[in-house]
Amino acid sequence: MKIYQAKDYNDMSRKAANIISAQIIMKPDCVLGLATGSTPVGTYKQLVDWYQKGDLDFSKVKTANLDEYKGLSKDNSQSYYYFMQEHLFKHVNIKEKNTHIPDGTETDAEKAAEDYEAIISGLGGVDLQLLGIGHNGHIGFNEPSDIYPKDTHVVDLQESTIEANKRFFDSIDEVPRQAYTMGIGTIMRARKILLLVSGAEKADILYESICGPVTPSVPASILQLHPDVIIVADEAALSKMGIS
């Protein structure tokens, strides 16, 4: 595991975008595992900027997103499909057919999960998986639990996650109660993982994830067992690690 300290959110975003750019330059047809939420927004903005300057080419890049709310269609402005269009896909030359997100409108959860695992296997697996972390240590929507869910599956979102995500909706009642997410196994099968963490409010959970025991009650702690993890975190997020 390598930890890179960034000064602040913008510096974290630039460093992360540099790592993703390097991946695209070294393997133009790479498979990127992508995340939504507020953490990667600055990273996507930087990638769009470099694309517009002619420094990046997404024409062969393939993507597979971590998760999607169950019940939200692509045109719902709170869906992760919509998020990805707004923050990255519509601004770069990625091909729509090369982008993949779990199908939130599939009501058969088993089918949705199996289809998505088949898509990821068909792509040859993920080269670089981008992750954020929830305040409870979730990665994707893998919430604290007694076990590590292996593959893509449907989850009941925890109250704390619904509470954290209500900022994106008009009211808390509109936040979906379920989501499809890559499993911990799906995430751990990525060849490289890039975890981004920003802000003092993530300092405790980052410390617990990296320095505490590996336990499904802190899902991100599993990353300690992955052979190729890069963490880019800002000073505030690293403040409990005693390394600054």
Specify the residue, 67 or 106, whose C-beta has the smaller distance to ligand F6R: 67
208 is catalytic: no
Specify the residue, 97 or 167, whose C-beta has the smaller distance to ligand F6R: 167
Whether the Cβ atoms of residue 69 and residue 24 lie closer than 8 Å to each other: no
Contact set for ligand F6R, span 37-76 (CB under 6 A): 37-39, 66-67
**How does 47-68 read in b/e, with b if 16+ C-beta sit within 10 Å?**
bbebbeeeebebeebbbbbbbb
CB of 54 to ligand F6R, least distance (A): 29
Secondary structure of residue 153 in the 3-state scheme: strand
Secondary structure of residue 179 in the 3-state scheme: strand
The active-site residue out of 65, 103, 127, 138 is: 138
87 is catalytic: no
Contacting residue, 33, 42, 104, 134, with ligand F6R by CB under 6 A: 134
Contact set for ligand F6R, span 114-133 (CB under 6 A): 132-133
Contacting residue, 33, 42, 137, 140, with ligand F6R by CB under 6 A: 140
Specify the residue, 92 or 162, whose C-beta has the smaller distance to ligand F6R: 162
Write out the two tokens for 12: 């974290």
Write out the two tokens for 84: 């990805």
Measured over the CA atoms of residue 182, residue 187, residue 191 and residue 194, the dihedral's sign is positive
Write out the two tokens for 216: 């499904």
67 is catalytic: yes
Q: Specify the residue for token string 């990665």.
A: 139
143 is catalytic: yes
104 binds ligand F6R (CB under 6 A): no
Specify the residue, 51 or 83, whose C-beta has the smaller distance to ligand F6R: 83
Beta pairing partners, 1: none
Which residues are marked as active site?
Answer: 67, 136, 138, 143
